[in-house]
Amino acid sequence: MLNFEYKNPTKIIFGKGQIAKLAQEVPADARVLMIYGGGSIKNNGVYDQVKNALASHKIYELGGVPANPEYDVLKRALDFIVEKDIDFLLAVGGGSVIDGTKFLSAAAGYDGDPWDILKKRVRTEEGEGMPFGTVLTLPATGSEMNSGYVISRKETGEKLSSGGPGLFPRFSILDPEVVRSIPPRQIANGIADAYMHVLEQYLTYPTGADLQDRFAESILLSLQQTAPKVMADETDFDYDAAANFMWCATMALNGLIAKGVPTDWATHSMGHELTALFGIDHARTLAIVAPSHYRYNFETKKAKLAQYAERVWSIHDGSIDEKAETAISKMEEFFRSLGIQTKLSEYTEDFAGTGEKVEAAFSSRGWDGLGEHRKLTPAEARIIIEMSY
Amino acid sequence: MLNFEYKNPTKIIFGKGQIAKLAQEVPADARVLMIYGGGSIKNNGVYDQVKNALASHKIYELGGVPANPEYDVLKRALDFIVEKDIDFLLAVGGGSVIDGTKFLSAAAGYDGDPWDILKKRVRTEEGEGMPFGTVLTLPATGSEMNSGYVISRKETGEKLSSGGPGLFPRFSILDPEVVRSIPPRQIANGIADAYMHVLEQYLTYPTGADLQDRFAESILLSLQQTAPKVMADETDFDYDAAANFMWCATMALNGLIAKGVPTDWATHSMGHELTALFGIDHARTLAIVAPSHYRYNFETKKAKLAQYAERVWSIHDGSIDEKAETAISKMEEFFRSLGIQTKLSEYTEDFAGTGEKVEAAFSSRGWDGLGEHRKLTPAEARIIIEMSY
């Protein structure tokens, strides 16, 4: 087991009817900015629940934070925060809204050009950052219980990340009832995203971290078991399945399963390029890249792939190589069972040359190697993308 | 899944050589009281490591905190804390030392008779309590990452618990190398204690909390797999096994697996009486009581017992009743494999009448029912104890 440090101070308030607890969690004298996205919260009742809970608070609103939260929108929000003397932020939404709110938290007290926080990866330390809480409406990214965020900037075509221990939400309210109104496409994306978060922290090489491995396998098994139930029509809403999906997505990326083990994240890096080139949903790009990534890096990953086969897919027959290969196929089948295609050519006819483009994009940035060994080169990324056509 | 709240702000610093990090974690200007137990830390090198790490700090010492931390000893420590103007506590030891330190943290700022904190179960709220950290030397109780504690008072024969969100350690340093010098008897106790902590939060009734169940099963499986390795002679010290044992014990009682599910704790209540009557090690009393408790409450627990059989012991054949009964036997076998006897008569010849004594003890206190249904009566506790002879 590798040495590690772990601290996660976010208070999770989980369950039915918990949004009403906002009144106790947001300081009574706070000047609150409520931040949300495209407005779905006005259709599913969450907006009203939040407003009712905070009826006695001083509250301003900022809607319209887009998926892949955009720097220009957030920059205008920063001006508003100053103008209205805001001192508490409340994100009501999914990962994009929460990530945008984390950037605002970091930037509100930052002395200098806000873009530097991302460009120079300025960490927000404990005690820094404007306090904020979240009401989660879309299980997927885990942003509700971690301290990282990703911001996009159309003007320059950049998509950059930052974070730091000062950016854990003070609290996050997770009411599984919100799953009821999420469109199936987004549920499938959320499941695939959480699943791949686990695999990025698990499918590396063995380090004797048995409990962490078992926790990772628990989330995978639980997502597999829960997926068909949450994908079912909303008339058959299964509260426990929704709750389980929500808790799995949070536990998949709150830091716990990454402690004491190496992590990969190459699939995410390659996937981001496919989103940039073709606008394919983030989770779906992961499903396209992961099988080829695991096949290309088969030799260094096969021990964990075989363990994944045995413990998650109950495949006990065959050699290590055979089990490992079957596990990759099982993973592909799982994604397809969610209605998620696993080949780039199923999303676009213009896939020719994508490998070269990804290689060129990686080469143009200061490349220091991807994957758990930090050795994967831009040329290898090209091969993996080409294997994904 | 039941509604829940979860917040655990303790910073875990885990791994080889991590005790040196104390210097960064304890404020430079703190007046530190270092608290430890019987002195084993002077033989295993931990004392020297702590003193070296804090060579530039102002540090006082208090040794001799006994197992089942004693109120009189702690009361004298409180006077010392005032006299020396101590403002930071450092527990170096196992659960008893850490529990004693939590009481001191709570009592140092408490206005009134310190015993009231236990007698009236005064909660220590966030921001209250003297700040403290821990260096763990014995994996077992999980006290290093939770906010509860138990204190004994010989004078009155009482053993009372208290806690509150202000009593999470600021940090806990977990260096698995300490396991190297723990006597086998205490390692066995630590494994059994952690194992039973999980079962108390798991063997109740199903609530659809799939991920929590799988996390609980992960800890059980991991302890079972790790036990023979950490029980082996110290000349064959297996660092990864020690690390896994240590992390399992912490995760078993840091609150996570209890969230969203009912909890039992009747085995602990009955076991405490056996410790009080016969001085049997805490963990061993649990191994005596648990099998009878599960057999007596078989009907209400058999669904989870059968799940335990399937997922932890790979027993897939037979009816629910058969699987559930086999699982109890497997649990007994596991305890015996650690060298822990599972019958009261194996510890004392004077077991006759113990059931009546436990019934009388429970009846004499304001009894409000034990177990996950809060329905178990003193008369039923007598039967369970009698089944354990």
Residue B325 and residue B328: Cα distance in Å, rounded?
5
Last residue of a domain, one of A147, A177, A207: A177
Last residue of a domain, one of B177, B212, B232: B177
Q: Measured in whole angstroms, how far is the alpha carbon of residue B67 from the centre of its chain?
A: 12
Whether B194 and B133 map to the same domain: the answer is: no
pLDDT by residue (tens digit) across B245-269? 999 999 999 999 999 999 999 999 9
Structure tokens at B191: 């494994």
Which residues on chain B are in Cβ contact (under 8 Å) with A246?
none
Is residue B6 a part of any domain in this protein?
no
Is residue B257 a part of any domain in this protein?
yes
Mean pLDDT, rounded, of chain A: 95
* Interchain CB distance below 8 Å, A211 and B247: yes
CA nearest neighbour of B92 among B210, B175, B3, B189: B175
Where does chain A show beta strands of DSSP type E?
4-14, 31-36, 58-62, 88-93, 132-136, 148-153, 158-163, 171-174
The 3 state secondary structure assigned to A85-97 is CCCEEEEEECHHH
Whether B188 and B228 map to the same domain: the answer is: yes
Residue A217 and residue A199: Cα distance in Å, rounded?
9
Determine the distance in angstroms separating the CA of A18 from the nearest CA of chain B, rounded to an integer. 8
Q: What are phi and psi of A89, to 5 degrees?
A: -110, 140
Q: Is the pLDDT of residue A234 over 70?
A: no
Whether A73 and A147 map to the same domain: the answer is: yes
Interface check B12 vs A, CB under 8 A: yes
Residues 6+ apart with CB under 8 A from B89: B32, B33, B35, B101, B104, B105, B108, B130, B131, B132, B133
Whether A262 and A378 map to the same domain: the answer is: yes
Q: What is residue A106's predicted lDDT score, i.e. its pLDDT? A: 97
Mean pLDDT, rounded, of chain B: 95
Interface check B242 vs A, CB under 8 A: no
Q: Is the pLDDT of residue B154 over 90?
A: no
Determine the distance in angstroms separating the CA of A13 from the nearest CA of chain B, rounded to an integer. 5
In sign, the C-alpha dihedral spanning B125, A135, A181, A193 is negative
Is residue A4 a part of any domain in this protein?
no
pLDDT by residue (tens digit) across A318-343? 999 999 999 999 999 999 999 999 99
Q: Is the pLDDT of residue A55 over 90?
A: yes
Is residue A1 a part of any domain in this protein?
no
CA nearest neighbour of B173 among B8, B7, B22, B44: B22
Query: Beta strand A158-163 with B158-163: parallel, antiparallel or unpaired?
Result: unpaired
Is residue B23 a part of any domain in this protein?
yes
Which residues on chain A are in Cβ contact (under 8 Å) with B260?
14-15, 243, 247
Tally of domains within chain A: 2
pLDDT by residue (tens digit) across A86-97? 999 999 999 999
Beta carbons of B184 and B301 less than 8 angstroms apart: no
Last residue of a domain, one of A177, A209, A235: A177
Is residue A72 a part of any domain in this protein?
yes
Q: What is residue B380's predicted lDDT score, i.e. its pLDDT? A: 97
pLDDT by residue (tens digit) across B333-386? 999 999 999 999 999 999 999 999 999 999 987 777 899 999 999 999 999 999
Whether B126 and B188 map to the same domain: the answer is: no
CATH number at residue B51: 3.40.50.1970
Instruction: Determine the residue of chain A that is closest to B209 in CA distance.
Output: A244
Which residues on chain B are in Cβ contact (under 8 Å) with A211?
218-219, 222, 244, 247-248, 251
CATH number at residue B371: 1.20.1090.10
Beta carbons of B388 and B291 less than 8 angstroms apart: yes
Structure tokens at A333: 């089948």
Which residues on chain A are in Cβ contact (under 8 Å) with B217?
218
Residue A96 and residue A275: Cα distance in Å, rounded?
15
**Chain B interface, best mutation among A210, A213, A254, A311, by max B CB count within 10 A:** A210
Banded model confidence at residue B85, pLDDT cuts 50, 70, 90: very high
Q: What is residue A160's predicted lDDT score, i.e. its pLDDT? A: 87
Banded model confidence at residue B68, pLDDT cuts 50, 70, 90: confident
Which structural domain range is residue B68 located in?
A: 11-177
Q: What is residue A318's predicted lDDT score, i.e. its pLDDT? A: 97
Structure tokens at B290: 């648990």
Q: What is residue B120's predicted lDDT score, i.e. its pLDDT? A: 92
Q: What is residue B159's predicted lDDT score, i.e. its pLDDT? A: 83
In the predicted model, what is the mean pLDDT of residues B196-218? 98
Specify the residue for token string 């660092």.
B239
Q: Is the pLDDT of residue B234 over 70?
A: no
pLDDT by residue (tens digit) across A159-177? 889 999 999 999 999 999 9
Residue A130 and residue A80: Cα distance in Å, rounded?
14
Whether A190 and A144 map to the same domain: the answer is: no
Helix (H, G, I), strand (E, B) or coil at A207: coil
The 3 state secondary structure assigned to B11-55 is EEEECCCHHHHHHHHCCCCCEEEEECCCCHHHCCCHHHHHHHHCC
Q: Which residue has the higher pLDDT, A76 or A67?
A: A76
Structure tokens at B319: 């009816």
Whether B214 and B331 map to the same domain: the answer is: yes
Specify the residue for token string 């599913």.
A44
Q: What is residue A39's predicted lDDT score, i.e. its pLDDT? A: 80
Helix (H, G, I), strand (E, B) or coil at A152: strand
pLDDT by residue (tens digit) across A186-212? 999 999 999 999 999 999 999 999 999
* Interchain CB distance below 8 Å, A211 and B16: no
Is residue A164 a part of any domain in this protein?
yes
The Cβ of residue B67 has, within 10 Å, a number of other Cβ atoms equal to 15
DSSP string for B210-222: HHHHHHHHHHHHH
Whether A248 and A124 map to the same domain: the answer is: no
Structure tokens at B78: 């409180």
Q: What is residue A388's predicted lDDT score, i.e. its pLDDT? A: 98
Whether B135 and B188 map to the same domain: the answer is: no
**Pick from A4-13, A58-67, A161-170: least confident:** A58-67
Banded model confidence at residue A66, pLDDT cuts 50, 70, 90: confident
* C-alpha R_g of chain A: 21
Q: Is the pLDDT of residue A12 over 70?
A: yes
pLDDT by residue (tens digit) across A100-116? 999 999 999 899 999 99
The 3 state secondary structure assigned to A225-278 is HHHHHHHCCHHHCCHHHHHHHHHHHHHHCCCHHHCCCCCCCHHHHHHHHHHHHH
The Cβ of residue B255 has, within 10 Å, a number of other Cβ atoms equal to 19
Structure tokens at A205: 């090489």
Here the ipTM equals 0.96
Whether A132 and A163 map to the same domain: the answer is: yes
Q: What are phi and psi of B33, to 5 degrees?
A: -110, 120
Q: What is residue A261's predicted lDDT score, i.e. its pLDDT? A: 98
In the predicted model, what is the mean pLDDT of residues B286-293? 98
Element (DSSP H or E) covering residue A199 = helix A184-200
Beta carbons of A224 and A334 less than 8 angstroms apart: yes
Determine the distance in angstroms separating the CA of A289 from the nearest CA of chain B, rounded to an integer. 27
The Cβ of residue B56 has, within 10 Å, a number of other Cβ atoms equal to 8
Q: Measured in whole angstroms, how far is the alpha carbon of residue B24 from the centre of its chain?
A: 28
Q: What are phi and psi of B331, to 5 degrees?
A: -60, -45
Determine the distance in angstroms separating the CA of B201 from the nearest CA of chain A, rounded to an integer. 17
Give the C-alpha distances (Å, rounded to integers) separating A69 from A16, A98, A196, B363.
Answer: 28, 9, 21, 61
In the predicted model, what is the mean pLDDT of residues A359-365? 90
Is residue A2 a part of any domain in this protein?
no
Whether A58 and A121 map to the same domain: the answer is: yes
Determine the distance in angstroms separating the CA of A4 from the nearest CA of chain B, rounded to an integer. 5
Interface check B244 vs A, CB under 8 A: yes
Whether B120 and B230 map to the same domain: the answer is: no
